[in-house]
Amino acid sequence: MPSPLTRTLRAYAADARAAFSAAPVEVALGVLLAVALSVQVRSKGFTDEEFARLAASIALAFPLVFALSVLRARGVVSAAARWAGTATVLAACAAFGAFALRDHRAADGWRWALLAACAILLLVLTPALPPGGRDRRREWAFAWRVTVRVVGIGLYSIALYALLAGAVAAVVSLFDLSGPDHLYTDLAGAVFFAFAPWIFVGGIHRLFAPAEAGVPEAVSRLGRWLYAPVLVVYLLILYAYAARVLVTGELPRNLVSPLVIAAGLIGLLGAVLLEPVHGDDEHRGLSTLVRAVPALLLPLVPLAAWALVARLQEYGWTEFRYVRLAIVTAIGVVRVMGTVRLVRRRPPLLTAVPTVFAAVLLISALGPWSAPAVARRDQTARLRAAFAEAGVDPRRLPRDPVTVDSALYTRIDAGARYLVDAHGVDALRAVVPAVPDTLRATWRMAERIGVRGACGPAPHVVAEIAWEGAVAGVMGGAVRHVVLRAGDTAAARMGAARLRLRVEDDRVLVDGDGWSASADLSPIRRTLEGAAAECEPPWDGRGAVIPPAEALLPLRDASGALRAQLLVTQVGVGGPGDRRRDAPAIRVSDLQGLLVLPR
């Protein structure tokens, strides 16, 4: 008779065989990725970029291939259709990874992320097929079980890796062994890429088994203790801010759209995952909230769209702004549909939620109106407009460098950097034909294409004294560290003397007991005017400094008598405090120093 250990091992082996039999391609993809990771960390010929392409292709293919396996297991498609579809998916994803994912192009990453999200939503939609045999309870059960299984296996994999890695580290330490260079990487690949997907697909038949009756305890707890309070808090915050916008007329802040998106996605997840609460008397309040969410969120969608459109008009399209607006649009469409069903007393939305989002994500990823295509056209047009406004022919760059004003420099720099970072050098070459192939998106990108910014006052520059061992001319007496800010009065006590210090324009003013004195800051200001002008030179890593001779300031009274000294150790200067024609280009905004008062 086999021992309990033997029976357990045989049971594990049987589960592994069953998983491989039900979803062999998915298991093979996970094992392939784990092996590829081990090879990549050891091979110089297999680069990080090549592994990233392989991983992206597998991540894109896995949910689609698994969706076909689910349809086959349910008997919806034939074996021939399943294998033909699997081959098509693998070929398409391999081609995408090989040809559509290029190194160092952020737009390709956005396209992949949108397609991967779309693939996951298509997996969630498999219970809705065939259309004639739809069952709301079955559709909910599949989405719920997939979610629970992914979360559970993810947490289990993290715990398993931590325990195994700890055991390996203990063995290496206890027995004074030299651990292999890539052991922990191999272990991570085996656990997260091979083992976890194998476990996941092993439960394929449980995913579409008949749903249990009633409201599962986990669903009840999720709805009552997480969904409801979080959603209510988000709604209260958003409605309070919407009221403020209506009262003050201010432009909605950029944070509004992420909050509306978060509230919308929480509400949509609730509509899908909390389906069993409808019709249950014990969860009537939660059911009412889920049904009312579309109507509650609908007035907030225009607020989020307004905040986004205002930024689009100012800064133009990027993939990130496009995706945010696309998600807000999808939330708005689903909210309208949900509100209509609420008014008509129809059941709340279920499969329509992933359907709408999958369609929006697919449009955002592919075609002439996709996020990368729209962003590239818009930013290219904006860059051309900036050159035209500056009167610069970009075809002469970088051979003939030019200087433009600071505002135009900022626009040209941002546009050029975006095009190279998101779409590669070829995108910038459409505007500036002579840029080299080796160009990469870096800080002060405009400098690399021969565009320099004219001088303008910097927002704030901090300079420190250039210590040279000692500062000559400091008199003896009491010393106190002081911190002064323009417009504020600082109080200091030095022995029996009570002093009040302040900065006004180019002077430091000190009021003592029965005397007043001042020091001239204009030499320091003039020294720093060059450092505080934004002329867009390449940064050399050095900060602005004050010569020691200028840092020691005599504080004299009206008769010229020396009352004290101020050794300035740090000073901050910035733009002018007023718009007068005779105002200096910069002003002293704050300073720190050592106040020396003779005894």
> Which two tokens mark 385?
């407009």
Give alpha helix (H) positions in 43-179: 48-73, 79-95, 106-124, 136-174
Signed CA dihedral, 95, 99, 105, 107: sign only: negative
CA distance 327 to 353: 12
pLDDT the model gives residue 247: 86
pLDDT the model gives residue 537: 46
CA distance 43 to 106: 26
Residue 277 is given by DSSP the state G
Distances (CA, A) of 141 to 118, 124, 207: 20, 10, 7
pLDDT the model gives residue 532: 54
Neighbours of 79 (CB within 10 A): 8
How wide is the angle at C-alpha 369 spanned by C-alphas 368 and 374, nearest 5°?
95
Which residue bears the tokens 């002081």?
482
pLDDT the model gives residue 496: 80
What is the length of the chain?
599
Measuring CA to CA, which residue among 102, 111, 25 is closest to residue 63? 25
Which residues, 6+ apart, have CB-to-CB distance to 73 below 8 Å? Answer: 22, 204, 205, 208
> Which two tokens mark 464?
């420190």
Give the CA count within 13 Å in the CB-facing half-sphere of 535. 7
pLDDT the model gives residue 538: 44
CA distance 458 to 302: 37
Which residues, 6+ apart, have CB-to-CB distance to 377 below 8 Å? Answer: 317
Measuring CA to CA, which residue among 296, 295, 277, 297 is closest to residue 287? 277
Cis peptide before 130 (omega within 30 of 0): yes
Cis peptide before 576 (omega within 30 of 0): no
> In what helix (H) or strand (E) does residue 566 lie, and over which residues does it extend?
strand 562-574
pLDDT, tens only, 254-311: 888 899 999 988 888 888 889 899 888 888 989 999 899 889 999 999 999 988 998 8
pLDDT the model gives residue 380: 95
Give the CA count within 13 Å in the CB-facing half-sphere of 304. 29
Signed CA dihedral, 481, 486, 492, 497: sign only: positive
Residue 344 is given by DSSP the state T
> In what helix (H) or strand (E) does residue 387 lie, and over which residues does it extend?
helix 371-390
Distances (CA, A) of 415 to 36, 80, 405: 37, 50, 16
To the nearest 10°, report the CA torsion of 500, 501, 502, 504.
110
pLDDT the model gives residue 324: 95
> Which two tokens mark 240?
């309070």
Q: Which residues of the chain have pLDDT under 50?
A: 536-542, 578-582
pLDDT the model gives residue 471: 82
Instruction: Specify the long-range contacts of residues 343-351, CB closer than 8 Å, at least 24 apart.
Output: 347/136, 347/278, 348/271, 348/275, 348/278, 348/290, 348/291, 348/294, 349/271, 349/294, 350/136, 350/139, 350/140, 350/271, 350/272, 350/275, 351/125, 351/128, 351/134, 351/139
pLDDT the model gives residue 534: 52
CA distance 341 to 351: 14
- The DSSP code sequence of 497-563 is EEEEEEEETTEEEEE-SS-EEEEE-HHHHHHHTTTTB---PPP-S--EEE-HHHHEEEEE-TT--EE
pLDDT, tens only, 396-439: 888 778 888 878 888 898 999 999 999 998 999 999 988 887 77
Residue 45 is given by DSSP the state S
CA distance 195 to 187: 10
> In what helix (H) or strand (E) does residue 574 lie, and over which residues does it extend?
strand 562-574
Q: Are 562 and 555 in contact (CB under 8 A)?
A: yes
- If 0-12 CB within 10 Å is exposed, 13-18 middle and 19+ buried, where does residue 247 land? exposed
Partner residues linked to 594 by β-bridges: 481, 567
Which residues, 6+ apart, have CB-to-CB distance to 431 below 8 Å? Answer: 380, 383, 384, 387, 394, 416, 419
* Buried-exposed string 9-24: b where 16+ CB fall within 10 A, e elsewhere: eeeeeeeeeebbebbe
Task: Tell how strand 478-485 and strand 587-597 pair up.
Answer: antiparallel
